[in-house]
Amino acid sequence: MLDLNNQKAIVLLSGGQDSSTCLAWAIQGYEEVIALSVNYNQKHIRELKAAERIAKEAGVKLLQAPLMLPSQLKSITALVQGTDVEEDMGTINADNNLPNSFVPGRNLALILLAGMVAYMEKAGVIVIGANQVDFSHYPDCRKEAINAMQDALNVGMDTSFRIRAPLMDKSKSEIVEFAKAHGALEWMKFTHSCYNGTWPQCGECPACKIRAKGFADAGVIDPLTQCQTDPLEEYLAPIREIEKDVEFLSINVVEKKSKTKKKGEE
């Protein structure tokens, strides 16, 4: 069996409120912490940039890994790029009685990736911000699913990993208080929750509403709402410039094709 360092933790960092809170918790509880951000072709690049900013704020090493999800998922979930789902975010899917923001198996795949990284790093602990009290009730956020993944990793890799989910049974207001107690409250201005990926946050999607309610119930002002300018602007600006260049090149290609076609018709 692989000799693991039980004072070394891999934290799955999405760039959201919960995972950032877990990062702060892990930093206080373990001697060495590595953050892992996963690009699964999520709808908004802002999440990944938020993870970068928070890892910098926390002063921890950030690893980034790609995860290729089946392209067919775009027909049933609204949280991947190129989605075919046009209903309002949070609409209940009649086929599975789950919100259309549910990405089937996402957390399971993320835990598997974290397990691979933990194996290479010889880290004994994996930390995830799963929460079964959340409005969505995603099945892969439940305690049973997390425990099953821990068993699967340990059997399949012959290891003794421990998966920690410190927010599992906490309400959103309790998570806000937990973040404050672990010194992560100021990080919240860099986090991303909005399903629509907007700045300022849309305030209308389920994620925005549950975040706002959590802070309100805790009697704490959300640092993100106090920002006068986008706190992630320096991370997003270069991407916008690239997108402009790509759009410009695409327009030129279309125009050239159009001109070539006209010449061929003459």
**Residues with Cβ < 8 Å from 6, sequence gap 6 or more?**
124, 125, 162
Residue 103's pLDDT is: 84
pLDDT of residue 248: 44
Residue ranges of domains in the chain: 5-226, 227-257
Residue 184's pLDDT band (boundaries 50, 70, 90)? very high
With CA atoms as reference, report the closest residue to 163 among 144, 149, 175: 149
> Across the strands, what pairs with 62?
35
**Joined tokens for residue 65:** 């890994």
* Rounded (10°) CA dihedral 49, 54, 60, 161: -90
Cβ atoms of 157 and 163 closer than 8 Å: no
pLDDT over 70 at 112, yes or no = yes
How far apart, in whole angstroms, are the C-alpha atoms of residue 188 and residue 219?
Answer: 15
Least confident of 86-95, 177-186, 195-204, 216-225: 86-95
Average pLDDT over residues 177-199: 95
For the cut 70, the answer to whether the pLDDT of residue 87 exceeds it is no
**What pLDDT score does 91 carry?**
73
**Secondary structure (3-state) at 11:** strand
CA-closest candidate to residue 202, choices 44, 1, 68, 83? 44
Calculate mean pLDDT across residues 76-103.
69
Lowest mean pLDDT among 40-44, 63-67, 262-266: 262-266
pTM for the model stands at 0.86
Residue 238 CB partners (closer than 8 Å, separation 6+): none
Q: What average pLDDT score do residues 178-194 get?
A: 97
Residue 47: which pLDDT band, with cuts at 50, 70 and 90? very high
Average pLDDT over the chain, rounded to an integer: 87
CATH class assigned to 5-226: alpha beta
Please list, in sequence order, all residues whose beta carbon lies within 8 angstroms of the beta carbon of residue 233, skipping any fewer than 6 positions away.
none
**With 90 as the cut, is the pLDDT of residue 46 above it?**
yes
pLDDT class of 249 with cuts at 50, 70, 90: very low
Res 9 pLDDT > 50: yes
Residue 28: pLDDT band with limits 50, 70, 90: very high
Confidence check: pLDDT of 260 > 60: no
Residue 135 has pLDDT above 90, yes or no: no
Percent of the chain topping pLDDT 70: 82
Average of pLDDT values for 196-224?
93
Which of 41-50, 67-76, 246-255 has the highest average model confidence (pLDDT)? 41-50
Q: What is the mean pLDDT of residues 216-241?
A: 92
pLDDT band per the 50, 70, 90 thresholds, residue 100: confident
